Amino acid sequence: MAWQSAMAIYFLFWALSVFFVLPFGVQTTDEAGIDRIPGQADSAPTHFNVGRVALLTTIVSAMLFGAFYANYVNGWVTAEMLDFVNARGR
């Protein structure tokens, strides 16, 4: 695999991992008992730490990419194994 392809796939894992990480450790304004600005939702986070989210996202995406790359190198799960449409005809 070319390094450009690996970087592109890692970026895709990173972008996907953001959505896994965002809900964890969030305290809402309703839970914290903080006064809200008019129009603000009860579920709005009180403090959003971009650095924490970026660090956790990088860790999660590195683990997912590591598993993907290990599978790519060792061939544990191949495309032929996942081809359920043509598997019935064999």
Q: How far is CA 73 from CA 4, 68, 70, in A?
A: 16, 9, 5
**pLDDT tens per residue, the chain (90 residues)?**
999 999 999 999 999 999 999 988 887 777 777 777 788 787 778 888 999 999 999 999 999 999 999 999 999 999 888 888 886 665
Number of independent structural domains in the chain: 1
For residue 73, how far is the Cα from the chain centroid?
Answer: 22
C-alpha dihedral, 33 to 38 to 42 to 43, nearest 10°? -110
Question: Which residue in 86, 61, 49 sits closest to 6, CA to CA?
Answer: 61
Give the residue numbers spanning the domain of 59: 3-87
Q: Burial, 80: exposed, middle or buried (Cβ in 10 Å; 0-12, 13-18, 19+)?
A: exposed
